[in-house]
Structure 1
Amino acid sequence: MKHLFLLTFLGAALAGQATPLTFRVDMTGQAVGTGGLHVAGNFQATAGFPGDWNPATTVLTDPDGDRVYEATVNVPAGVYLYKFVNGNSWGGAEQPGPACGLDDGGGNLNRQLSLGATALRLPSVGFGSCNPQVKLQVDMRGRTVPSSGVHVVGNFQALAGYGANGDATAIRLRDLNGDGIYDVQFSLPAPTRFQYRFVNGNVLSAAETVPAACGTDDGTGTLHRELNATAAVNTAPALAFGTCQNNTLSPTSYSTYWWNDAVFYEVFVRSFYDSNGDGRGDFAGLTAKLDYLNDGNPATTTDLGITGLWLMPMMESPSSHGYDVTNFKATEPDYGTMAEFEAFLAAAHARGIKVIIDLVLNHASSQHPWFTQAASNPASPYRDWFRWSATNPDYLGPWGQNVWHPRNGSYYYGIYWDGMPDLNWRNPQLKAAMWDASRFWLAKGVDGYRLDAVKYLVENGPTLEDTPETLDLLEEFHDSVRAVNPNAFTVGEAWSTTSRVAPYVTNDRLDACFEFDLATAILNSIASGNPNSLRSQLAVVDATYPKLQYATFLTNHDQNRALGALGGKQDLMKQAAALYLTLPGVPFLYYGEEVGLLGSGPDEDKRKPMQWTSGTNAGFTTGTPWRSVNANYGQFNVATMQADPASLLNHYKKLIGLRKAQSTLRKGYLLPLTASASSLLAFGRVFNQEAVLVVSNFSNAAVSAPTLSMALSTLAPGQYQVTDLYSGQAAGSVALSAQGGFSSWAVALPALAARQTWMLRLTSTTASATSPAKATFAPQLFPNPTSNLVRVQLPANGPAHAQITVYDLQGRQLSSATTTGHSHALDTSSWANGTYFVKVQAGKAVSTQRLVVAH
């Protein structure tokens, strides 16, 4: 008898710790054969038996004589198929009914179970019979699912054999066909009504918030979904996580988060504003200047308009830079008390400003008590919190530096210098202490972390960066942070090439990383007057990261400041600002960049005091500044630039205001455009049915009558009115083709001046009959992004036949096919990585959607 030749992958259980699984069958009223009672399935080999689907090796017994026979095995979490056998040969195998039997393709029915991370004791079931079956499912399309998976909790778990109710590790849902719908099926011993919630992860803090429209109070004020499981088979609808509706994805579906709506400002507290005259900036000074950053009133235009702050290290440290921490749970005394930090945090939040702080995970100070005890006593419990060697391993660091440093007859590892010994993340006590520190600040109310030097966290001998262990550690960090604040933002410094940075922003490690190659390309292209390197890097970035999940900037505290890099030319600074504040990503502005601070050479000179006025010490302090102010403060300061409508500061204010006002500039995908002049860089930002076309002139001469071409897009065909957002000028109109594109369109504006940037908003003036936004025709692509097969799903209430045509970004047709049903698979395995457009036409209804291929 053949069993299970399809779906054998179901039993390929996930590697991991074995979990007890108890099978139970009720033989009341039935005679047990002389060969005994057995259970067979695709769990047997994993459980240590000679092979799967053997009817004679896994015996069930009834030691208490209640006619319920049991067998317990230990297997890893996974989905398994099984059936009971009365005897020890296939002739005695049960044939469970269709309510609980899964057909293997040959007419043979098997039972199925899903095992999570905790013991499962299946409800007893009559031989050949079915208990009430329950299928729970949730639509996770458009959401990031962590490596720990999707689970369900509720007051049915104990009844179904899954241990205690509310255990978020016990019942894992799976998406075996890759359609984004996660499901699980289990049995109950009797009909019942129960409540449940889905969990995106395996901790209760990640449980969905069920809306009141479909939620039932569990008696504690928490709303749950409810299912009345009174039928033989009970299937809950596949609603979107945290909603009461089906998940209707937009044609350009990808996840965005609060940080995609933010503009961040990087602050070195020591250099921002001194409130007490000691020459050092402090929390009170930062609080006093919050109205400059964002006064909390959207009707005013005097503030810069930022909505996020990144504080460089503000924990206790003996150094001015703060990256050598001596107490991970204390504020730097130079900056003020914990109470003053908390007052600043509250004042920032009151103005709508999110606050993230620098968290140094790689190393501590050599003056930290952990290290001083470890260094003075080899028997200290802190000794293994750092890396030690009896002899000098004698290998160098990534930039040729010494990384092993002598101390008391041994050598310790520190990748930066001997004052910052690296932490040993292989030590569980060290890890626990650092996770505790990270939770401490989240409990204070910070909104996330900027993580320093993330690529150096865990070493493998002389392999010092980008190790698999480092990536694994960041997955743990993600889970630890999200357990406290599910909305916390983490952005990392992995200063490397784009391809090496990308793994840090996948698999639920960090939310974003700084895109150094892009920053370099922006400055180099502007300085050279040639947009080619920036154009190339934009294509690399767009094809590499999860959409929009990277941080854009010009320079930071470790680099020569942007004004110096651009030769002190404010027109080039304005162009640079216009570019990175209209590009995808999460923009970060380094303090003082908006008023032209200079800084190069030693780090201290890249972090000089903020220039507030043209008065003494640039208005930074009434005392002696910790570092001398720049010589250019007389002209380059906040007060002077506030009064000049054409200043760099007011340019930044306008750009930030435009980004905040236009969802397309915050959430739109990147679409390259073709311009008639080689000195022009042109790209589109498209979000739903909105678009902004950005055109920037890298030449030192004006470009007259430029034309633009866009092969295709997800925009609806029809006529669009065009306005330059920056100047407010009307720029004519453009007709979009059936593919959502246009060719050689002349912008109805005066010549594009040297170093000027247009931001052209397209607003539809016609309602096209073939609009892809039409609610009655919204086919879906999933998964998207894809690495292999992608499914085109036509609406269930629409036609079952459609023409599917695929184009590349240049508008070239790659393939065309006619569907023979509501679902059609596209094989992208031979396609190059990049962005494609899939046009689906059924009669007069047309939808064009964007598909990302990333192998």
Structure 2
Amino acid sequence: MHHPGPPRFVTVGESVELAPRQPDPDMTAEWQLVERPAASTATLGDGPVCHLEPDAPGAYRAELTAPDGTHEQVVRAFPGVTETAQFSVTQEDFEHDDDTDALAVADRAIVIGKFNDFTMGTHWAEREGDEWVIETDLPPGTHHAIFSFDGSFESTATDEVTVDGPGRPRVELTGTTADGDLVVSADAHAAPSGSEPEVEFYLDGRDALEESAVLIDGDELRVPREALPGTARIHAVAVAERHSVADTLVVECGRESGETGTGKTGSVSRPADPPSWASDATIYEIFVRSFAGETVDTTFEAIERRVPYIESLGVDVVWLTPVQASPTRHGYHITDFFDTAADLGTREEFESLVDRLHDAGIRVVFDLVINHSSRDHPAFQLHRAGVPEYADYYERIPASQDVSDVDWAGEDAPGYYFNWTRIPNLNYDSLSVRRWMLDVVDEWRDVVDGFRCDVAWGVPHGFWKEARERVKADDPGFLLLDETVPRDAAFAENEFDVHYDTDLFDTLRDIGTGDEPASALFEALDATVEHGYPDRAGHMRYVDNHDEDRYIDECGGASLRAAVGATFTLPGTPMIYAGQERGVEQQRGTMRWHDGDNALTDFHRRLVALRSDHAALRAPGVYPVSHTVETGDSDRVVAYERTDGDETLIVVLHFGDGTVSVSLDSAVGDTDLLSGNPVGSDGTVAVEDIVVLPAASGR
């Protein structure tokens, strides 16, 4: 079915792509905008993939004429809440190699950030005296900008601004039956500092449910059972100063498509929720080519022989960095999306590794790289060489926007992010590309248990929504993990299950370096609500990954233990980056097998086991615990309570050197559940890095 999918919810000025599903590169498909707000002058272009940029609040209705009929796509646009903000840096802010002459005479600088998708050459800061300054409109929140003079990142500076304003509200739908009718209730929550939201319900154009059959009363929607079709999808958003991430219910009545009748309502499911196993899991990321050791080439067979070690850690999921054909050590420059890298092994050897991990009770997450390819991929070579069949496979930008030193063939350049000139962006306005990348999804989804989606923010939302329904149709437990940096709640709307928690990552770094007090981790957790993530959304908590300098290198071993302790005792899905537990100091350094830190490894094992054994550590909700630091630096200590209703635990973290003495206002046991050692009495405990204590009574 070529129907473009569920209703879309955006702000005025935010472009939304409209595309047929199940694309056939040879199909004929055209869009027409048949309804728009009275104040709008928005239009749609020609072709099967179009972009609508709402210019006024209200509902827009587009029709897609495709080989299987005419389909409707509703786009609801809400007023944007933005403020003009200014980024600025001085010459002293730049990191450079003592070459100040170029800086002294530069009239302007390239600026990238989330506001322009980290795209070089679109935004420039002009020099004003000793500063380079740029203004742009930004929504509420904290924003970062990177300044560069030549696009090489050899000399950069950064600035941060905070725009005041409300966060996003949240909404959760529940479905019940009353007298055989379907009753959908919306539980809407105001954003911090936001007003109470109202709820808007939307039907799905793929279903035969008629709007005239639906009764809406405030936060409740009712459908008589005789009006229910075989499948009914109900969507809702909470609306205040800003709009929420939409929530969805799917009602299956067991009838043929298009039929209605007086049968039972059937099952009600929540398609946007993560798999139930994800919140209980621990992820172990392996940077593939550094895992086997100093003198042994890493292959699938070499990793398979080391599965007993992975198993000994007690982890539930292994995330492997890219295993497809690539000329690079890191593997993100894909040259063949359908085969494994020759230096790692054959497809059969990869599947043998997956089977071995499955035998150990460990799921496998595959690094799905579909925002770009290597510029050495045959498709890109044919594209740049003017082969007509590949003309629309990659993004193209005006040569005037390109700031690289590459002499690109032709009058234009490829689109790319940051300074990634070797990995050009695929063009998702092409049906051929969409079909190609859906084939890649199909190729690997039956082999592994989930995808970690590289540069998820660079792929259109509509594609991710289609991919999600595709992989979940046969396996609802399939995991989708997004790399969205910085984090963005929009990717929780029927797209991804688990999300990078960049707020906690950055805050734990700031705590480790002493730039923030340990209590700042509560603000990082509060940011999840501020961003508007649904309560059921999953979050990956981590201190290291292959794209960042190692925490131990930046912050030291003492802070590392406390930071890792935080990731395992706060809600979410903890992740260990291979080598973190062995004391590896290099970002993508070789695994330390013979000379690793065994005590640190054992510390990680005990944390994995503790979290597995105590449901309180996997439950939602974190409650600060009043305490007094009797000896030591109080800014380096934080305490909180975790409970599942049956058990209550008190966690105390110390991010400094040595041991501190902490008095707790709560009555606790005197034995640390993590180490098994006594830690004190009468509510006073000795804390080196982390202690986890049973509370005498819970909330």
Specify the TM-score bucket, using the shorter chain as the normaliser: 0.5 to 0.7
Amino acid at match of 1:539: D
Q: Which of 388, 400, 423 is the equivalent residue of 1:393?
A: 400
In the TM superposition, residue 598 of structure 1 has moved relative to its aligned partner by 1.2
Instruction: Tell me the secondary structure at the aligned position of residue 725 of structure 1.
Output: coil
Change beyond 3 A, Cα 1:16–1:456? closer
Q: What is residue 663 of structure 2 aligned with on the other side?
A: 706
The Cα shift of 1:268 comes to 1.5
2:247 is the alignment partner of 1:258: no
- Measured after TM superposition, the shift of residue 311 of structure 1 is 0.7
Alpha-carbon distance change, 722 to 77 in structure 1, aligned in 2, over 3 angstroms: farther
Q: Deviations over 1:285-340 (max 9, x none)?
A: 1111111111xxxxxxxx11110111101111122211111111111111111101
Match of 1:554 among 543, 547, 553: 543
CA distance in 1 between counterparts of 2:650 and 2:203 reads 39
1:365 deviates by: 1.1
Instruction: Evaluate the alpha carbon distance shift between residue 720 and residue 196 of structure 1 in structure 2; reply closer, same or farther with a 3 A threshold.
Output: farther
Which letter maps to 1:748?
A: D
Q: Secondary structure at the match of 2:682?
A: coil
Which aligned pairs between 1:780-819 and structure 2 lie closer than 5 A? none
1:380 and 2:380 equivalent?
no
Letter in 1 for 2:300: F
Superposed, 1:578-593 pairs within 5 Å as 578-593=565-580
Structure 2 match to 1:241:
268
Contact 2:673 2:693 in 1 (8 A): yes
State whether structure 2 residue 574 is matched by structure 1 residue 566. Answer: no
Paired letter, 1:268: F
After TM superposition, the structure 1 = structure 2 runs for residues 16-415 of structure 1, keeping only pairs within 5 Å, are 136-137=181-182, 169-171=207-209, 176-177=216-217, 183-186=223-226, 229=262, 236=264, 241=268, 257-273=276-292, 279-294=296-311, 303-377=312-386, 379-389=387-397, 391-394=398-401, 402=404, 406-408=408-410, 410-415=412-417
- Change in 2 beyond 3 A, CA 1:724/1:172: farther
Q: Any conservation in 1 of the 2:319–2:452 contact (CA below 8 Å)? A: yes
Give the CA deviation at 1:372: 1.4
Partner amino acid for 1:430? V
In percent, how many aligned pairs have the same letter? 24
**Structure 1 pair 386/336, CA: closer, same or farther in 2 (3 Å)?**
same
Q: Which moved more, 1:534-543 or 1:518-527?
A: 534-543
Alignment partner, residue 673 of structure 2: 725
Q: Does 1:751 align with 2:685?
A: yes
Distance 2:234 2:616 in 1: 28
Q: What is the alpha-carbon distance in structure 1 between the residues aligned to residue 608 and residue 654 of structure 2? A: 20
Corresponding letter in the other structure for 2:607: L
Taking structure 1 as reference, are residues 387 and 649 closer, same or farther at Cα in structure 2, changes over 3 Å only?
same
Consecutive unaligned residues of structure 1, counting only runs of 5 or more, are: 1-14, 18-44, 48-73, 79-132, 152-166, 189-194, 211-215, 244-253, 295-302, 397-401, 458-469, 600-605, 614-633, 642-646, 710-718, 733-746, 766-847, 849-855
Shift of 1:443: 2.0
> Please, what TM-score do these two structures have when normalized by structure 2?
0.62
Per-residue displacement from partner, 1:527-555 (whole Å, max 9, x unpaired)? 32831433432332354333362211112
Q: Secondary structure at the match of 1:572?
A: helix
Q: How many residue pairs align between the two structures?
A: 495
Amino acid at match of 1:756: D
Amino acid at match of 2:393: W
Write the distance in 2 (CA, Å) between the matches of 1:762 and 1:684.
9
Instruction: Calculate the aligned-residue CA RMSD, in Å.
Output: 4.3
| Residue identity in the other structure for 2:333 | D
Matched, 1:612 2:593: yes
Q: AA paired with 1:284?
A: E
Partner of 1:802: none
> Which secondary structure state, in structure 2, belongs to the residue aligned with residue 393 of structure 1?
helix
CA shift in 2, pair 1:385/1:134, >3 Å: farther
1:431 counterpart = 2:379: no
Q: Distance in 2 between matches of 1:556 and 1:288?
A: 23
SS in 2 for 1:676: strand
Answering whether residue 551 of structure 2 is matched by residue 594 of structure 1, we say: no
Question: CA–CA distance in 1 between the matches of 2:481 and 2:686?
Answer: 36
Cα–Cα, structure 1 residues 187 and 608, in superposed 2: closer, same or farther, change >3 Å?
closer
Q: Residues 526 and 698 of structure 1 are in contact (CA less than 8 Å); yes or no, is this contact kept in structure 2? A: yes
Other structure's SS at 2:428 match = coil
* Greater length-normalized contact order (CA 8 Å, ≥ 6 residues apart): 2
Question: Does residue 536 of structure 1 match 2:576?
Answer: no
In structure 2, the residue matched to 1:682 is: 639
Shift of 1:594: 0.3
Q: Which has the larger radius of gyration?
A: 1
Deviation string 1:364-410 (CA, Å, 9 cap, x unpaired) is 01121211111112x52111011235x513255xxxxx398612554
Instruction: Encode CA deviations 1:742-781: one digit per residue, 9 max, x unaligned.
Output: xxxxx7355323x43221234769xxxxxxxxxxxxxxxx
Structure 2 segments unaligned to the other structure (5+ residues): 1-15, 19-33, 37-69, 75-177, 189-199, 236-248
- In structure 1, the partner of 2:618 is 666
- The 8 Å contact of residues 664 and 683 in structure 2, kept in 1 or not, is answered as no
Residue in structure 2 matched with residue 486 of structure 1 by the alignment: 476
Deviation at 1:344, TM superposition (A): 1.0
> 1:149 and 1:257 mapped to 2: Cα distance?
27
Q: Is the 8 A contact 2:281 2:315 kept in 1?
A: yes
8 Å CA contact 2:207, 2:233 repeated in 1: no
Which residue does the alignment assign to 1:801?
none
Q: CA deviation at 1:723?
A: 6.1
- 1:447 partnered with 2:452: no
**TM-fit CA distance, 1:255:** 7.3
How far apart in 2 are the matches of 1:673 and 1:46?
54
Residue in 1 that maps onto 2:500: 514
The residue number in structure 1 matching 2:166 is none
Q: Does structure 2 conserve the Cα–Cα contact (< 8 Å) formed by 1:690 and 1:763?
A: no
Residues of 2 paired with 1:322 and 1:657: CA distance?
32
